[in-house]
Amino acid sequence: MDTDKDVYGSTDRKGDSGKPRATASEVSVARVGRENLSDSIAPHESYEGRHRYDPSATWTEEEERRVVWKTDLRLLSWICLMFFGLQLDRENLSNALADNLLTDLNLTCNNYNNITEFPVQFLTKRYGFKYVLPIIMMLWSTVSWSQAWMTGHISFYITCAFIGACEGGFIPGAILFVTYFYKTKEIAVRLACFWLSLNVARVISALLAAGILEMKGVKGKPGWFWLFLLEGLLTFSIGLISFLYLPQSPTSTKGALFRKSWYTEREEVIMTNRILRDDPAKGLTVLKEPAT
């Protein structure tokens, strides 16, 4: 490899700001997140926020707090709701056991413990988080509500396999998604919010199940039939709205539900440059790119 070339494969050592770019060998030995690295590496040409990249941009602490708060309100709160839906569908299978699920389907506890997971990193890289996360949520919720029509261990295995395949990559995918909106030191608190939403979902799921299982006998169906059906439909609704709501990136936030950007042009500059100065490596990748 020609180490005199910059990280984009060019021998031109000048960046957009007139400052010399780092070579591949220099990047390989530099620690990600070093402040001086952001001065020498311009973001990739395909980076979503490149048009807002400005190495000379400055802002006040109050301005930064404002964009972080806006991100918490519009992005973090909704991702927490998606985590809630995830846990809701996870818990409904456990809650269904209280309504003789194993007996009705002629299952044993050994049958019940078989679960599979499958990562979705390839899909998020190819199509972007905006579409993949909501779609896999709608897929697993569709399978979840179809569990209402399970008739035995074969249908149980099939539905659990599909749900595991869809749910497996949601948490790592969602966490990676929010890292493009927050600085490294801000991530821990946001992750705590995610885990909190999972625990809240456990409590609410139990309360919902207690009520829904009382529908046992309605239209001749067992209580677990209504549990899978109603909670699956609820999670599907969250996924559908997420498809219309989630942004592609901090500089691409318009959608079917919000025709205006979440941030002003000034705020987009702050969002882009504060993230790149915190972790310049994020500028060398894009949120959506052809998978290789």
Residue 251 lies in a domain: no
CATH of the domain at 139: 1.20.1250.20
Q: How would you classify residue 289: left for phi > 0, otherwise alpha for psi between -120 and 50, otherwise beta?
A: beta
Averaged over 36-40, what is the pLDDT?
53
Residue 250 lies in a domain: no
CA torsion angle 140 143 145 146 (round to 10): 180
Report which DSSP code applies to 183.
-
Q: What is the pLDDT of residues 245-289, one digit of tens each?
A: 999 999 999 888 878 899 999 999 999 999 999 988 888 766 665
Lowest mean pLDDT among 4-13, 143-152, 209-218: 4-13
* Per-residue pLDDT, 238: 95
Of 209, 259, 251, nearest in space to 95 by CA: 209
| Residue 264 included in any domain | no
Name the average pLDDT for the chain.
Answer: 78
Q: What is the mean pLDDT of residues 98-112?
A: 57
Contact 24, 7 (CB under 8 A): yes
Higher pLDDT, 116 or 175: 175
Identify the pLDDT of residue 59.
92
Task: Tell me: pLDDT of 5 over 90.
Answer: no
Average pLDDT in the 54-61 region? 90
Ramachandran quadrant class, 285 (left: phi over 0; alpha: psi -120 to 50; beta: rest): beta
Whether 128 is covered by a domain: the verdict is: yes
Q: Are the C-beta atoms of residues 173 and 133 closer than 8 Å to each other?
A: yes
Position 97, amino acid: L
User: How confident is residue 186, by pLDDT bands cut at 50, 70 and 90?
Assistant: very high
The residue segments making up the domain with residue 232 are 72-245
Q: What percent of the chain has pLDDT over 70?
A: 73
- Model pLDDT for residues 187-201, shown as the tens digit of each residue: 999 999 999 998 898
Out of 111-125, 163-177, 218-232, least confident range: 111-125
The pLDDT assigned to 9 comes to: 44
Indicate whether 30 belongs to any domain. no
Domain count, the chain: 1
Position 251 scores a pLDDT of: 93
Task: Choose among 47, 50, 48: nearest CA to 16.
Answer: 50
Of the ranges 56-70, 165-179, 213-227, which is most confident?
A: 56-70
Dihedral angle sign, alpha carbons of residues 9, 10, 13, 18: negative
Residue 4 pLDDT > 60, yes or no? no
Confidence bin at 86 (pLDDT 50/70/90)? confident
- Please report the DSSP string for 64-86 in residue order: HHHHHHHHIIIIIHHHHHHHHHH
Residue 42 included in any domain: no
Q: What is the largest CA-CA distance in the chain?
A: 74
Residue 49 in any domain: the answer is no
In a domain, 5, yes or no: no
